[in-house]
Structure 1
Amino acid sequence: MLLKMSAKAKPDETLYPSECWEELVLSPRHGVKLARDHALSLAEPGTQSYISGYRLYLLIASPVAILFLTLLDSSIISTAIPRITDDFHSTLDIGWYGAAYQLANACMQPLVGKLYTYYPTKTVFLFFFAVFEVGSLVCGIALTSPALILGRSIAGVGAAGIVNGLLAIISGSVPMVKRPTVVGLGLGIGQIGMMLGPLLGGILTERTTWRWCFFINLPAGVVFAAPLLVVKVPEQFDKSTNQPVVDFIFHKVDLPGFASFTPAAAMFLLFLHYGGNQFAWFSPTVVGLLFGSLCAFTVFLWVEIRKGADAILPLRMIRQRIVWCSCLVMAFSVATTFCSTYFLPIYFQAVIGATPIMSGVYLLPNIISQLAGTVISGALVGKLGYYLPWSVAAGALLTTGCGLISTYSPTSSKTSWVAYQTILGLGRGVGMQIPIIALQNTLPERDVSIGTSFMMFGHTMGGAIFLSLAQTVFTNSLRALIPVYAPSVDPRAVIAAGTTHEGLATVDESNVAGVLLAVCKSVNRVFYMTTGAAFAAFCFAWGIGWRNIRECKDGGEGKGGQECADEG
């Protein structure tokens, strides 16, 4: 006799989505085993047909090139920031040029994951890239610092879907055992954009104007996106839906969670930005922002608990140790990336007196070693199978590199510039794709896009929070140290002048050395903070699991990583 499965008989939905159990018919003889097999067949429909050879590389060439462009955009502004602060007299906004981008990116991640789960990958990918292009245009024509921040926010919304889209394309095209190599290759090529960013930004800033750091995205974007328009992109699973996007947003997207999280995050970042800068820490404005952020975050948690599986951050996913550890490793690692990208140019241009071009050249050891580490670790993980050792090693290298860079002084040698940045870059490169591989190896394919969005949420929020913290540390340190090393100089005048060597030329010659020392020590304090973030990444790296991807996926145990998920 066949029995309809009752609600009480449903096994734990933390592993199998609720939709997998609808209209499920059980045989008492086979019991839960039949239910589990049926649920898995619904969660992972069909046998995935992978591609290889030149077809694979032709497929991923366009999204990798677009990733190259977005990563170029993330670093090209670093060597332009000192000139931007000179034009807009906006030293206090340095952190916001990166934080606005990251905050907008983070707020969009839950929607990104849902869109990639229910709609064609190519359509969603091209939509987000078009938004990124609009943001680049706004940045290029900005006449004020707030307008530039707005443009960075729009670009951040667009960039939110790029990495997730590339990983979705790779997941639908490549078996798990080969993904570390392909992901490493794709991210490695993309990292060339980050490698060239500071140098290209320096050339454009010095030879033309910093605005071309953003205008360059427009023609290049058209060229890079064109091939994707005519290429068929395989899907990870069936995404056939006739639901209009507007209906989808209202029925599938956690709008109350989205509406409560966004102000909570924005007020918290404003609290970090204004505290000790424009306003005293205990001023009504700063205290009000903190209180408002806590209230909005409390509402957000309440909404998420009530929404259950439909929440913006599904609890069934967050409960898995590998998922939240991978997210935290990514968040703390990217904190070191963005802080070094934004504040090392200040050291080279303000303290050393380098031109924007030479500042970009001095950053090359950091970026080249990161590229090498990314490609090498991706290949070795695919060859050996285990990813935990690489994540731990990356955390150790990051901590060492940040700690050494925090010792830079106005008289540091070029050897130390190269050596310390090489250690930092290797740490960033070796660990870059490890959290992604751990997550893809743990979650069923249907959950990979949402899980990746959760990780990118941690990635972008980590960058936004730590950039705001770094800005606060930097400006507060300047206010405290300039009176110590250059007592006759007004700290407010130095902050308003900007952070290029030319911007500090207004300082009396007898006080220049003291001001430069204060700027250098302020950058040092930023790297004290990033050293702590790197050590946190090292600690959480131990929680991503000792798994062999050659056994857990595509090795006979079934597709989707379910066996791995059951083990942990």
Structure 2
Amino acid sequence: MATATSKEEQSEPQAIVADEEKTESHSNAPTLREPVQDEKQTKPEDGDVPTENESDSEEPEWLTGWKLTSMMTSLTLAAFLMLLDMSIISTAIPRITSDFHSLTDIGWYASAYNLASAALQPLTGKIYMYFNTRWIFLGLFFVFQLGCLICGVAQSSIMLIIGRAVAGIGSSGIQSGALTIIAKSVPIHRRPALIGILMGFAQLGLVSGPLIGGAFTEYSFYINLPIGAVCAALILAVHIPDHRRVRRDQSAIKILTTKLDLTGFVIFCPTIIMLLLALQWGGNEYDWDSATVIGLFCGGGVLLLVFLAWEYRVGEGAMIPLPIVRKREVWTACLTQLFLFATVIMASFYLPIYFQSIKDATPFDSGVDLLPSILSLILAAVASGGLAQRIGYYLPFATASAVLSSIGFGLLSTMNPHTSTAKWAGYQIVMGFGRGLGLQMSILAIQANTSPDVTPIAMAVLVFCQTFGGAIFVSAANVVFTNQLRNELESRLPDINAQTIIDAGAGAVNDIVSKANLPQVLSSYSEGVRAVFLLCVACSSIMFFTSFGMGWKDIRQKKSPVAGSV
């Protein structure tokens, strides 16, 4: 009777057995995620990407061993070089202005870089969503290196400004690209330690700039090139897992015209340029109530409303999808990161002013004096990453970061010309440790609460908030510092032209002021720096409240029958 069984009757149980074997093979495959329940174990179509920290319908591909080491070394070097480039130019500017006779162009050396970087950051996030992550990262890194080379061979101030703009274009996708690559290469429960290493050691670029620039002034812009070559070689040696939202065979032209929201970019770019120019020129090139600054603010504000209306109309296909930004965990993480990096930038600007103007340190020595804050930041960033990975929650570290940062900046605000080395070093350690605890927590919050297919744009928005927040608060700090310094000088030394001392710059205070008046001038500078640190206290306090919206989500590896990695 068994031989009389029809083919149809045999095929059905065979299919069932085949499906069961397929399901079993998936559950036994080395994976770091939970097996899917009540779903077919079939390979998803191109563009279907599993939700982070949830059940997946395809086996994840993770990097381990030498491949992971190579990738992390490359990404950390790239992030280090980006911050090094930002800080090293501050040391090179005196030599540049004397060689090119371009004192009036100083503002553009930083502005060209920041404007190009900020305007392109959301677009690069969108590009990472639809194109191969590794090649886009390498392409942008090459543009960044090309900008550094142009600056190195520049024969005029205009050429140098162009080089800075090109470097800014390349830098627009370096940090967000690095975070996206990590998100695609390791499971979320392993990311805290890795992101802590990346973000922590990259901060060495800020303190290395004055040290390297002071020692190799003529070759400041060439230093990036050999290290950049090593960086590119390391990441070329590794295959980066690639999950895109479109079919691999879809043409690049079609993606550019239908997926990237180029109309939104055309509106967004001049919006950000006008707003950043208004912030950078206000109180420096022009008065805040000048027609130029007011016009830039008005134009930028109107275009911002137009941009938001357009993004709302486009919906999920927008350059900055509003459904993502409206998610509480995302916008609170972005705000937390904005205020955190505002304190990082303000401290990196005004701690050197304290050391160079009040303590009469050289740029090289002031870089050394920053080591307590940088080293404590690195230690805290790496340690908090490991602890968050172990306990599974990032929120406690974000709130602790806000508290310790507030205390640290409060202590720094008590400094005066007579503060001992032990005190200012200790204050920096508290502040640096506080900032380090929270350096990566906003990143983890976004990655834990968004699906992998939108991680690139979410990371780009986060990095944009860092950049834009830094621009806003550097301008605010400049206003606070200058006004406080002017008021103190006019109060302490009414017979001296306060503006003359301000225009001379922090590095020339000890050269242009008489010994009789120097103590009063140094005390005035100290009060100006104190006002900036109080602004940092305010930013850290706001961080405490915004951090609570980042969510309480367990990022540890979920239990599974067999865990591993591929």
TM-score between both structures, scaled by the size of structure 1? 0.82
Give the aligned CA root-mean-square deviation in angstroms.
3.2
Specify which of 310, 324, 329 is matched with residue 322 of structure 1. Answer: 329
Tell me the distance in 1 between the aligned counterparts of 2:336 and 2:417: 32
State the aligned residue count.
517
User: Which letter maps to 1:186?
Assistant: L
Specify which of 421, 428, 452 is matched with residue 428 of structure 2. Answer: 421
Q: 1:524 — aligned with what? A: 530
Deviation at 1:116, TM superposition (A): 1.2
Deviation at 1:172, TM superposition (A): 2.2
Segment of structure 1 superposing worse, 471-480 or 324-333: 471-480
Deviation at 1:273, TM superposition (A): 3.0
> Pairwise mapping of residues 24-103 of structure 1 onto structure 2 (< 5 A)?
42-44=48-50, 46-77=58-89, 100-103=112-115
Checking the alignment, whether the CA contact within 8 Å between 1:396 and 1:535 is kept in structure 2 is yes
1:266 aligns with 2:309: no
1:549 aligns with 2:555: yes
Deviations 1:417-436 (A, max 9, x none): 11111111111211111111
1:537 aligns with 2:543: yes
Q: 1:334 — aligned with what? A: 341
Specify which of 284, 292, 295 is matched with residue 288 of structure 1. Answer: 295
Q: 2:168 — aligned with what? A: 156
Deviations 1:192-247 (A, max 9, x none): 4345334333x32xxx42x5332211222123222323432222457653455454
Cα gap change, 1:421 to 1:87, in 2 (>3 Å): farther
Cα gap change, 1:400 to 1:155, in 2 (>3 Å): farther
Deviation at 1:386, TM superposition (A): 0.9
Tell me the distance in 2 between the aligned counterparts of 1:221 and 1:399: 36
Deviation at 1:94, TM superposition (A): 7.4
Q: 2:222 — aligned with what? A: 215
Specify which of 118, 121, 130 is matched with residue 142 of structure 2. Answer: 130
Deviation at 1:183, TM superposition (A): 2.0
> Pairwise mapping of residues 120-269 of structure 1 onto structure 2 (< 5 A)?
120-140=132-152, 150-201=162-213, 203-204=214-215, 208-209=216-217, 211-236=218-243, 240-269=247-276
Deviation at 1:138, TM superposition (A): 3.9
Specify which of 457, 463, 474 is matched with residue 467 of structure 1. Answer: 474
User: Which letter maps to 1:156?
Assistant: G
Deviations 1:446-482 (A, max 9, x none): 1111111111111111112112222233334444433
Cα gap change, 1:486 to 1:225, in 2 (>3 Å): farther
Tell me the distance in 2 between the aligned counterparts of 1:101 and 1:328: 23
Checking the alignment, whether the CA contact within 8 Å between 1:395 and 1:427 is kept in structure 2 is yes
Structure 1 unaligned regions, length at least 5: 1-31, 560-568
**Tell me, what secondary structure is at the counterpart of 1:550?**
coil
1:369 aligns with 2:381: no
1:448 aligns with 2:455: yes
Checking the alignment, whether the CA contact within 8 Å between 1:117 and 1:450 is kept in structure 2 is yes
Checking the alignment, whether the CA contact within 8 Å between 2:49 and 2:245 is kept in structure 1 is no
Deviation at 1:509, TM superposition (A): 3.6
User: Which letter maps to 2:86?
Assistant: S
Deviation at 1:534, TM superposition (A): 1.5
Deviations 1:271-303 (A, max 9, x none): 333333443333322322222122111111111
Cα gap change, 1:213 to 1:62, in 2 (>3 Å): same
Checking the alignment, whether the CA contact within 8 Å between 1:339 and 1:530 is kept in structure 2 is yes
Cα gap change, 1:90 to 1:468, in 2 (>3 Å): farther
> Pairwise mapping of residues 422-437 of structure 1 onto structure 2 (< 5 A)?
422-437=429-444
State the identity as a percent.
41
Deviation at 1:384, TM superposition (A): 0.7
Specify which of 490, 496, 501 is matched with residue 494 of structure 1. Answer: 501
Checking the alignment, whether the CA contact within 8 Å between 1:89 and 1:498 is kept in structure 2 is no
Cα gap change, 1:280 to 1:464, in 2 (>3 Å): closer
Tell me the distance in 2 between the aligned counterparts of 1:483 and 1:86: 32
Tell me the distance in 1 between the aligned counterparts of 2:319 and 2:71: 31
User: Which letter maps to 2:423?
Assistant: S
Checking the alignment, whether the CA contact within 8 Å between 1:169 and 1:235 is kept in structure 2 is no
TM-score between both structures, scaled by the size of structure 2? 0.83
Checking the alignment, whether the CA contact within 8 Å between 1:101 and 1:156 is kept in structure 2 is yes
Tell me the distance in 2 between the aligned counterparts of 1:499 and 1:384: 46
Deviations 1:487-516 (A, max 9, x none): 343334334333214x65133443333333
Structure 2 unaligned regions, length at least 5: 1-37, 51-56
Deviation at 1:541, TM superposition (A): 0.7
**Tell me, what secondary structure is at the counterpart of 2:176?**
helix
Cα gap change, 1:159 to 1:476, in 2 (>3 Å): same
> Pairwise mapping of residues 390-429 of structure 1 onto structure 2 (< 5 A)?
390-429=397-436
User: Which letter maps to 2:147?
Assistant: G
Checking the alignment, whether the CA contact within 8 Å between 1:188 and 1:371 is kept in structure 2 is yes
Cα gap change, 1:387 to 1:519, in 2 (>3 Å): same
1:352 aligns with 2:359: yes
Deviation at 1:49, TM superposition (A): 2.0
Checking the alignment, whether the CA contact within 8 Å between 1:270 and 1:289 is kept in structure 2 is yes
User: Which letter maps to 1:355?
Assistant: T
Deviation at 1:519, TM superposition (A): 2.4
Deviation at 1:76, TM superposition (A): 3.4
Tell me the distance in 1 between the aligned counterparts of 2:438 and 2:494: 44
Checking the alignment, whether the CA contact within 8 Å between 1:167 and 1:183 is kept in structure 2 is yes
Q: 2:313 — aligned with what? A: 306
Cα gap change, 1:281 to 1:196, in 2 (>3 Å): closer
Cα gap change, 1:41 to 1:461, in 2 (>3 Å): closer
Cα gap change, 1:49 to 1:276, in 2 (>3 Å): closer
Tell me the distance in 1 between the aligned counterparts of 2:392 and 2:431: 25
Checking the alignment, whether the CA contact within 8 Å between 2:46 and 2:245 is kept in structure 1 is no
Segment of structure 1 superposing worse, 533-542 or 270-279: 270-279
Tell me the distance in 2 between the aligned counterparts of 1:73 and 1:373: 24
Cα gap change, 1:323 to 1:146, in 2 (>3 Å): farther
Segment of structure 1 superposing worse, 409-418 or 90-99: 90-99
User: Which letter maps to 2:462?
Assistant: M
Segment of structure 1 superposing worse, 372-381 or 212-221: 212-221
Checking the alignment, whether the CA contact within 8 Å between 1:370 and 1:429 is kept in structure 2 is yes
Deviation at 1:374, TM superposition (A): 0.6
1:506 aligns with 2:518: no
Deviation at 1:129, TM superposition (A): 0.6
Tell me the distance in 2 between the aligned counterparts of 1:321 and 1:156: 30
Tell me the distance in 2 between the aligned counterparts of 1:334 and 1:135: 24
1:387 aligns with 2:399: no
Larger radius of gyration between Structure 1 and Structure 2: 2
Tell me the distance in 1 between the aligned counterparts of 2:67 and 2:420: 48
Tell me the distance in 2 between the aligned counterparts of 1:518 and 1:82: 24
